[in-house]
Amino acid sequence: MNAICAHTNLDCADGGVNDVLAQCLGLENVRKIPSPNAGTMLLRAGELREELSPKQFAELVSQCLCCHVRYCDGGRSIKRVALCGGAGGEFFSDALAFGCEALVSGDVAHHEFLGATACGVTLVAAGHFETENPVVKTIFEYLEKTVTDVDFFVISQQSPTNFI
* DSSP, residue by residue, 80-127: EEEEEEEE-GGGHHHHHHTT-SEEEEEE--HHHHHHHHHHT-EEEE--
Please provide residue 80's backbone torsions phi and psi, each rounded to the nearest 5 degrees.
-100, 130
**Do the domain assignments include residue 163?**
no
- pLDDT tens digits along 18-53: 999 999 999 999 999 877 766 677 899 999 999 999
Is 132 among the domain residues? yes
| Secondary structure (3-state) at 29 | strand
CATH of the domain at 137: 3.40.1390.30
Number of separate domains in the chain: 1
Q: What is the pLDDT of residues 114-136, one digit of tens each?
A: 999 999 999 999 999 999 999 98
Tell me how far apart the alpha carbons of residues 31 and 14 are, in angstroms, rounded to a whole number.
10
Torsion angle, alpha carbons of 69, 73, 78, 84, to 10:
-50
Rounded Cα gap, residues 101 and 91, in angstroms: 12
Domain that holds residue 116: 8-146
Tell me if 159 is assigned to some domain: no
Cβ density class 107-146: b for 16+ within 10 Å, e for less: bbeeebbebbbeeebbbbbbbbbbbbbbbbeebeeeeeee
Please state, in angstroms and rounded to a whole number, the distance separating the CA atoms of residues 115 and 40: 22
The answer to whether residue 160 sits within a structural domain is: no
Mean confidence (pLDDT) of the chain = 92
- How confident is the model over 64-76, as a mean pLDDT? 97
- Entry pTM: 0.91
164 occurs within a structural domain = no
